[in-house]
Amino acid sequence: MKKYIFILTVCFVAVSGMAQTSQRLTSVRNAYRGDDKIVKQQVVFHDPGSSGRGLFWDFSMLQPINEEYSLKYFISDSTHMTRLCGMEHNTRYYYRQQQDSLWAVGFENSTTMMEYTVPELRLKFPYAYGDTLFSFFTGTGEYCHRIPLKVKGYTRTIADAEGDLLLPQRETVKKALRIHTLRQYTETGKDSIEMTLDTYSWYATGIRYPVFESVKTTVSKILKKQSEYEAASRKDTTVFTTSFYYPPELQTSQVQTDSIPVDKTNALQGIAAVFTEAQLMPNPVTDNLTINYKLTRAAQVWFTVHNNIGIPLCQTAPQNMSEGYNITTINMGGLLTGVYSLYVHVDDMVMKLNVVKQ
Name, in order, each residue with C-beta under 8 angstroms of 117's C-beta and a sequence gap of 6 or more: 138, 139, 140
pLDDT of residue 261: 52
Q: Which residues contact 179 (CB under 8 A, 6 or more apart)?
A: 25, 123, 127, 157, 158, 159, 160, 200, 201, 202, 203, 210
Q: Which amino acid is at 189?
A: G
Please give the C-alpha separations between residue 262 and each of 35, 107, 277, 345, in angstroms, as whole numbers: 20, 36, 16, 19
- Per-residue model confidence as pLDDT tens digits over 168-192: 866 788 899 999 999 999 988 777 7
pLDDT at position 35, please? 76
CATH of domain 270-357: 2.60.40.2550
Position 228 scores a pLDDT of 59
H helices present in the chain, as ranges: 5-18, 27-30
- The whole-angstrom separation of Cα 184 and Cα 205 is 29
Q: Does 16 have pLDDT greater than 60?
A: no
- Mean pLDDT computed over 269-275: 84
Name the average pLDDT for the chain. 83
Q: Can you tell me the distance from the alpha carbon of 16 to that of 343, in angstroms, rounded to the nearest whole number?
A: 35
Higher pLDDT, 310 or 46: 46
How far apart are the C-alpha atoms of 331 and 146, rounded to whole Å? Answer: 46
DSSP state for residue 231 in the 8-state scheme? P
- DSSP letter for each residue of 103-143: EEEEEE-SSEEEEEEEEEEEEESSEETT-EEEEEEEEEEEE
Query: In percent, how much of the chain has pLDDT > 90?
Result: 43
User: Burial letters for 201-229: b for 16+ Cβ neighbours within 10 Å, e otherwise?
Assistant: bbbbbebbbbbbbbbbbbeeeeeeeeeee
Helices (H) and strands (E) in the chain, counts: 2, 24
User: What pLDDT, in 10s, does the model give residues 205-258?
Assistant: 888 899 999 999 999 876 555 555 555 566 778 889 999 998 876 665 444 445
Interval 282-307 mean pLDDT:
91
Q: What are the boundaries of each domain within the chain?
A: 2-253, 270-357
Over range 94-120, report the average pLDDT: 91
pLDDT above 50: residue 100 = yes
Query: In whole angstroms, what is the distance from residue 109 CA to residue 87 CA?
Result: 10
The pTM (predicted TM-score) of the whole model is 0.69
Most confident of 232-236, 261-265, 275-279: 275-279
Q: Which of 73-77, 154-158, 216-220 is least confident?
A: 73-77
pLDDT given for residue 28 in this prediction: 80
- Percent of the chain predicted with pLDDT > 70: 82
Q: What CA–CA distance (Å, rounded) separates 221 from 217?
A: 13
d(CA 249, CA 39): 9
